[in-house]
Amino acid sequence: MTGDIFIDIVDSDVEAESVKMLPGGSALNQGRHLHALGTRVRFFGAVGDDTLGRSLLHQVAGQGFPTETIKMFSSLPSAVCVVLSGPVDRAFVSCYSTNDAFTTRDLHEQASELEACSHFHWGGYFNMKGLQSQDFTNFIRSCRANGMTISMNTQCDAAGHWCGEGNHLEEFLPLVDLLFVNISEGEHLCAALCHDGDHSMSALCKRYPTVTFARCLVWEVAQGRTSAWSDPRQAHARWSHKESMVALFIVRVCTPYMCQPSQPLASWMSQAVAMLSSPASYLLGWHTGQSLTPTPSTRPCSRHAPKAMPWPAYA
């Protein structure tokens, strides 16, 4: 898998007793979660040869995560995301440096590491401008020709275009087997990619019929209470059900740190997945044929409990 790596510097927007520095980036977090679930991961990304980059590599390597295929740029600062958390919202200040500098050429330098891979995931599409190119599109075509399946999550497009550099996403998306989007991302993609005036999720499914869209609906579990960040009833009303669409529910555990998911989720989520904040376990289940959701679109297989491993910290 490839994608974004950030050093997350987390603070509140008031006076704080301490400032946290954590490994971040949607792709790196997904890779670490897949690794924690017992999956072998080869991760391709980049940091800078600076204090922050070396600190991140030391921290994730200490968790047992493989870092051999993470490139270190000697002349660039590591990508950083400063996260300011308020009582009802968060603000981000991001430096994309090493993420944007990572290109298809860097993947070709380690092409031998991909020979035994059966699946390729791209995390943080809009944070990786260097891969939004015809070279990378051709690279993914060769991966598919070698039997790999492809998945991707986009993250937010800070530029507000939602179609990639030079409209790259329009040509690239048909090569993706599984696309993770939340409600906001899905609606922005519809507006950018569907040109007939219909900006519904159904229109995106019709335009890209070979892509399975995993719709992310997030619950927050905090202090014994469960509240919906994205109400599934509202989401269902706005996004009509299609065979090319599945619902993916993600539990974000706040305080207390260890908490059981709500009863509707508990029927199809294992205890280990209850700590999940990324689509990693669903990707694992989809790729191996182990269904994590009860929807007709997913494969009807039993879910085995993942291997117990220490769960990585995340922002």
Q: What's the token pair of residue 307? A: 């291997």
* pTM to 2 decimal places: 0.74
Say what the pLDDT of residue 216 is. 60
Question: What is the homologous superfamily of the domain 2-288 according to CATH?
Answer: Ribokinase (3.40.1190.20)
What is the share, in percent, of the chain residues with pLDDT greater than 90?
A: 43
Give the start-to-end residue ranges of the domains of the chain: 2-288
Dihedral angle over CA of 244, 239, 260, 29, nearest 10: 60
pLDDT top residue among 76 and 227: 76
pLDDT in tens, 28-59: 999 998 888 888 899 999 999 999 999 999 99
Nearest to 113 by CA among 30, 38, 31, 44: 44
Q: Which residues make Cβ contacts (< 8 Å) with residue 234, sequence separation at least 6?
A: none
Rounded to an integer, the average pLDDT of 93-115 is 94
269 within 8 A of 233, measured Cβ to Cβ: no
- pLDDT > 70? residue 199: yes
